[in-house]
A and B are shown apart, each in its own frame.
Chain A
């Protein structure tokens, strides 16, 4: 019997030969090699190194005592009250910080989506907090909050809201709200910008049709605007959660985690430990922070992908 000849067999033959050529062609690998090697060198290797260090007593103040200690650093973290306090601070820092960034960012995006004279200038100005480096933001707000010469105290006193100056960053009760206020100020333009881009992609006809059907502004917002921006909201929020949780620069330049550890989030604690050269313990807490973020990010992304699949 001869093999069956025909279109199907011919296609298989063509596909087979194409696959054969793709399989053995080195070009794709050579082309992605530079990017792959770079990623391995600057991302994979440091992460791997951090994981390895987290299992060692890697303290450069005692280099002769560096050795494998298994899960000892993880056990230390579980019994370290500062670790748990920093974790709780991180949750509050992210929830309140990102939450209010989103709310005010959305409000700003809706405002900037309207047509009014000078809109371009207002849009540009509103980006200033986002393009300002975190270190500069920390220093700037440190002076704004200053208990002796700060402009915030001056304003509040002139408005008659306070009678004595408040040492915002020197009191445990006011230091943490102050740093959260700073991060909110910094992050609003990011949400505003991303949501504004999303808003401009919503067809005007949808609003027109809804208005014809008698939908009020509230209904138009929750039944058209929000669902249309669902993917943008998902992605931007996830990005900000990760960035804010990992953020060190603003807090460090405002308070260095003080007073009395009251503004020490987990990333600041990692930074402080790393600064004192206890790299093993710093790596352990960094890994735990990454795992905690993964716990948030993975279900979040799954839900996002599922929603995207359903919308197709």
Chain B
């Protein structure tokens, strides 16, 4: 009887041990959503996830799922998925969407995770402040990942052809747009446009530089200075220094136009630099958007979030930490050329010796973001492109357009 009891006890204990071990080794699955600008970036994110899965040693399995950026509609896709009870554990994210997600309590508060995180200080404290500001609270809901400072790409060979030097002031920049607009084959038609203007969604970022260069700002878009900035933008188009398709040109179009030699300058961030160098080799360079009365350029950002609905928040934070300061940060920023948020990664030779990174860093002191309001998303997606298209098409004056944009953003 005693032997039987011992046997049963041993069996139960060994079964319990087996269950405990298998529970410990049971992989925790984390679904991560992201967008990628091209197939190479897409493959890179899959590789980062695979590397993390192979090395984290905690049984965390990240399933990286790609969704299209779709001119910013990614944020709404994510929002709808999470509101509908689905969506991922973590996701790439734009800071401008923070009010929408926090207002609906969809984001996990990261304060406790950050307090316990050993690598917290590898990220600039000011970035955490920016994250707090975006949420309108004293808490961090968004994990910094990487930033992109907009600057002007240009073709040195076209500059030489037009006899133009790199603009140092806003006035020189406007003049360069004019001189770089050329009829290269003498058929009386423009073959190269000075400025690759973005009039579709996303165009508000380069447009903002014109507003600030004339002394305007985003607090009041209807000031004479801001209106003058808008007038410059309209004049570039109406005078034929930008392609006729500009009102509907988005990211793909401005990049395609620049790469095909149709435009001599265009504004984008370092994320495009690898593709530009692939196309032109040394015949592509960059300069910061020049200042006039004021100076501003857009600081694009790509962050990551941990959704409140995630059932594995600890594991999900491990993944976000890997992307922010671990190997994932280095791999992504090297592949895309984005500005890393990890100070350790910033010191790597790749970033110290990159000419586009240098321009990004030059622009950083005056780089900023648009006001993050609950109207911002609609303003960016619908109001700005349609209002500017009306102004470019001559259906609306610069003053009326700016008044409409002011009402659309601030409500008055």
Contact = CB atoms under 8 A, between A and B. Distances in A.
Interface of A is mostly: loop
28 contacts: A60-B100, A61-B377, A63-B103, A64-B103, A146-B245, A148-B253, A149-B260, A164-B189, A170-B199, A170-B245, A170-B248, A170-B249, A170-B389, A171-B244, A172-B390, A255-B248, A256-B200, A257-B382, A258-B200, A258-B247, A258-B248, A260-B393, A260-B396, A261-B386, A276-B377, A277-B76, A277-B100, A277-B377
A148 B245 contact: yes
Contacts of B377: 61, 276-277
Contact of B387 (A164, A260, A277): A260
A147 B245 contact: yes
B100 A169 contact: no
A77 B13 CA distance: 71
Interface residues of B, number: 39
A148 B262 contact: yes
B326 interface: no
Interface string A152-196: 000000000000110101111000000000000000000000000
Contacts of A275: 73, 76, 381
Among A164, A167, A260, max chain B CB count under 10 A is at: A260
Interface string A238-263: 00000000000000000111111100
Interface string B190-205: 0000000001110000
Contacts of B73: 275
Interface of B is mostly: helix
B228 interface: no
Given A61-B99, A148-B262, A276-B378, A259 B248 contact: yes
A276 B244 CA distance: 29
B244 A165 contact: yes
Nearest to B103: A63
Nearest to A62: B374
B402 to A, nearest CB: 15
Given A147-B244, A259-B248, A61 B389 contact: no
B385 interface: yes
A123 to B, nearest CB: 36
A63 B389 CA distance: 32
A220 B392 CA distance: 54
Interface string B250-274: 0001001100101000000000000
A148 B389 contact: no
B171 interface: no
A148 B257 contact: yes
Contact of A61 (B100, B253, B260, B382): B100
Nearest to B389: A259
Interface in B355-412: 374-375, 377-378, 381-382, 385-387, 389-390, 392-393, 395-396
B165 to A, nearest CB: 28
Contacts of A169: 245, 248
A60 B395 contact: no
Contacts of A259: 199, 247-248, 385-386, 389-390, 392-393
A272 interface: yes
B162 interface: no
Interface in A265-303: 272, 275-278
A49 to B, nearest CB: 14
Among A148, A170, A278, max chain B CB count under 10 A is at: A170
Nearest to B382: A272
Interface in B89-125: 99-100, 103-104
Contacts of A276: 76, 377-378, 381-382
Given A258-B200, A272-B382, A171 B393 contact: yes
Contacts of A261: 386, 390
Contacts of B76: 275-277
B158 to A, nearest CB: 17
B376 to A, nearest CB: 9
